[in-house]
Structure 1
Amino acid sequence: MSDRRRIMPLRDVKDHPKRKVNLIAVVVEFSIPRMSVGTDYCTILKVIDQSQQNPELSVNVFMDDVHQLPHIRSRRDIIVLSCVRIERHNQDPCAVFNKSFSSYALFDGKCSSAFRPYQASPAFCLIASDKPFITSLKNWSLTFQLDPGISPYVVSLNHIKEKDYHDLVCKVLGVCEVSSNEWVLFLWDGTDVPPLSFNTKLEEHYSIQLQISVPLPTNAISNFPCVGTVLRVIADPAYGNLGYHFHSIGEWVRIRNVLFEVDSGLWKGVLSGTSKVRLLSENDNSVIERKRNLTERLLRSGRVPMSSYHVSNFLTVLTVTDYESTKFSTLMDLLTFSKDKGIFKCIVRVVAIYPLQVKDFWSPAGLYRIRVTLEDPTARIHALLCGEDAELFFGGYPSISVLAAKMNKLLGVSENDDSTRNPPWIQCCVELHLANEAGALGARHYHIRFTILVL
């Protein structure tokens, strides 16, 4: 085998259609590996080099096994591509990796004298003449400001819309297999998703979901931020083992073409076939802006939901003066609280109740026993409103008609024949205690206390 391989600069690729060429480039973007329309798995890379940064060259890679596809570990990583064929797609040149005669290797993009790839296809062989190209490209990329790929489609989570595709600049908090070959990404940008309306038929919300996908144990969410929505993004089985080939945990990314849907009154994202990921630096302007916005939010309003900023008169008041100066907590604060008990002041919405009928609010002994579902942008929980706490909340034992009117206000049921309801924000005290030492979500009991509904 020759000890020399001709490397083509990216700027010359357009002049060599239908030719097989060798490339060495920096990977700036990748699609999450998934099954193609055939039997192969595929990923699309966007690459640049010293000769061309715009437009970025697309590299389409197909393999029989998802594990053999290139899995990009970090920003500025370098790929060596051997014998890729230059084609045209929508008049733009692109490179196509053929599993029969092409090969690749991935190298850490950090400045290093090591030439050992962290991943390579079976047929790849590093040639001595490759090394100067790799070194030169590493040195150049460390000083070149990579394009974060911001587009008009980038939005914050507080501006998403149902059934729309959006791009997000966000932090990847984790990836989890929630059922057999169903994976969920957890994304966060420090803002709150918009509050949603509900169907007026309360019976449809008797078994309302507390979260998208299966419940997570406390230790799985203990490192989640307590301010801002952690969005669940569903990956269908076409993505295979997402946890294996998604290495961006803890990183800021720009993720393209996420479809936003509503499930049981909760926002969720869905990875589409065109979803792509671009790794971002902590110093990218888009990342700095989101960090600055979060800092300003906490200084201005603390842990209060963004959608409640305009509320001046809540439907509830607190009866204990000890909590007047206490800062508000989010429901995620309660979910991740490590002690056995505590009392928190929260701003929430009541999105569901049980029993459904007001006439069933009392036990045979004549005592209130109600379960309410509370929601804020960070979480949903079930909380009990019972006994003396419920007497205080409702102002004693009003008639069924008065109590029904109070509950309609609390649940956001309109007086006209509207098909949707929009629960208002209320403030309340929530007491937490753990039923055992396991710390599982199901072992946490919540009670509404020291709160009066003023209607």
Structure 2
Amino acid sequence: MLREIKEGHFNLAGKILHCWEALKDNWFVYVWDGTDTPPNAITSMLEDEINHPLPLQLESLPLPRDVLCTLPTVGSILRIAFELPIEKNHLNVLKSGKWAQFINIRLKVYAGLWYGVFTSHSKLRHTPNEDRLIAERQRLYDDRISLKSRNMPIGSMPQSIDSLPESLCITKVNHDHVRHLTLMDVLTHSEVTAKFKCVVRVVAAVPYQGEKFCTPAGKYMMRLTLEDPTARIHAFVVDEDGETLFDGYPGTANVKRKLNRLLGVTECDDSIVVNDRPRNPAWVSVCIKSYYVSKSDVWGSRNFRIFDTKIVDGP
């Protein structure tokens, strides 16, 4: 299952959701089994984010919205690329909506994102829905979506954000009664303007230099990269939302310390940051607002921002 994958060669049973030629002769197969891929450590340098940002997806362009909205919003979707060129007529065997077993595919991580490679030694076996293995996958997914916590990252954290140890509850939100959604729920929502609550990891921030957190007018302005098992998005922290997030203007050093907690940055006892160590950001609850900046292109100009979320003081 996707929740059990590791780097290396692997046999995987999943449902083929879509095939897409992201670039000429560069095909991806989208595979899903209802479980969540494990989170990866982030090895990129935070200072490099402005010039070499973490990608939001493996493809050079995101999927068209009409395709994206047909995909499941719960459970990770693995992209599988082909090591060798593939003839278009061979893609007929990759039927969307059908379950299949991918034998001996190579699993890799790029910029913290999982993907598979169908090599010359890999094989594909179509599997009927009645197969015991597929029936078990479907049962596990049905059990998951019947739970109140179905949108929580399974296998990475407790089933409720409220059950996290107090020392790990890094954020507090003002909408405890609202159910958590996935980032795929956010991306596929039917309206441009909406509000959500999600459990995410903050994997990057721009700017990262403390003296640049605010504009010359003294207002917060930064961009965070959020991820969960279903997607990555950029979300801005602007003006009063930054005041809420950082509890006012506590000074550059304190803002940097709070941001480092979100980003999983290791600090020594004397507050010295260890920059060359892989980061493993914690899961946190955040409120996200979706909005547009151009009335003439509401979907094309859609952005996201953090709101009603506060970083609590550390232990």
- Check if 1:240 corresponds to 2:98: no
- Check if 1:293 corresponds to 2:140: yes
**Contact 1:200/1:419 (<8 A) preserved:** no
Counterpart position of 2:172: 317
Structure with bigger RCO (C-alpha 8 Å, 6+ apart): 2
Counterpart position of 2:23: 179
Which of 397, 405, 425 is residue 283 of structure 2 equivalent to? 425
CA distance in 1 between partners of 2:113 and 2:264 (Å):
17
Which of 228, 238, 241 is residue 376 of structure 1 equivalent to? 228
SS at match of 2:180: coil
Which of 425-434 and 245-254 deviates more?
245-254
| CA RMSD, Structure 1 to Structure 2 (Å) | 1.8
Which of 245, 253, 275 is residue 122 of structure 2 equivalent to? 275
Q: Deviation at 1:294? A: 1.2
State the AA in 2 paired with 1:158: R
Name structure 1 gaps, 5 residues minimum: 1-155
Q: Deviation at 1:444? A: 2.0
CA distance in 1 between partners of 2:107 and 2:89 (Å):
19
- Check if 1:303 corresponds to 2:155: no
Counterpart position of 1:390: 242
Q: Deviation at 1:380? A: 0.3
1:169-248 superposed matches below 5 A: 169-199=13-43, 201-206=45-50, 207-214=53-60, 215-241=62-88, 244-248=91-95
Q: Deviation at 1:439? A: 6.8
CA distance in 1 between partners of 2:246 and 2:239 (Å):
11
Q: Deviation at 1:392? A: 0.6
- Check if 1:399 corresponds to 2:251: yes
Counterpart position of 2:3: 158
- Check if 1:266 corresponds to 2:121: no
TM-score by length of 1: 0.62
Counterpart position of 2:271: none
Q: Deviation at 1:205? A: 3.3
The structure carrying a bigger strand percent of its residues is: 1
1:65-117 deviations in Å (ceiling 9; x for gaps): xxxxxxxxxxxxxxxxxxxxxxxxxxxxxxxxxxxxxxxxxxxxxxxxxxxxx
State the AA in 2 paired with 1:303: N
Counterpart position of 1:257: 104
**Contact 1:182/1:236 (<8 A) preserved:** no
State the AA in 1 paired with 2:153: P
CA distance in 1 between partners of 2:178 and 2:18 (Å):
32
Name structure 2 gaps, 5 residues minimum: 269-273
CA distance in 2 between partners of 1:204 and 1:168 (Å):
35
1:238-263 deviations in Å (ceiling 9; x for gaps): 22326743342110111111111111
1:193-244 deviations in Å (ceiling 9; x for gaps): 1001112621233311000112222112111100001111111342232674
CA distance in 2 between partners of 1:361 and 1:386 (Å):
10
1:360-383 deviations in Å (ceiling 9; x for gaps): 011111100010000000000001
Q: Deviation at 1:187? A: 0.3
CA distance in 2 between partners of 1:231 and 1:222 (Å):
16
SS at match of 1:196: coil
1:102-117 superposed matches below 5 A: none
CA distance in 2 between partners of 1:330 and 1:242 (Å):
35
SS at match of 2:134: helix
- Check if 1:346 corresponds to 2:198: yes
SS at match of 1:317: strand
SS at match of 1:223: coil
Q: State the structure with more CA Rg.
A: 1
Which of 391-400 and 426-435 deviates more?
426-435
Which of 307, 310, 314 is residue 449 of structure 1 equivalent to? 307
State the AA in 2 paired with 1:177: E
1:370-421 deviations in Å (ceiling 9; x for gaps): 1000000000000111100110110000111111111111100112546111
CA distance in 1 between partners of 2:253 and 2:138 (Å):
49
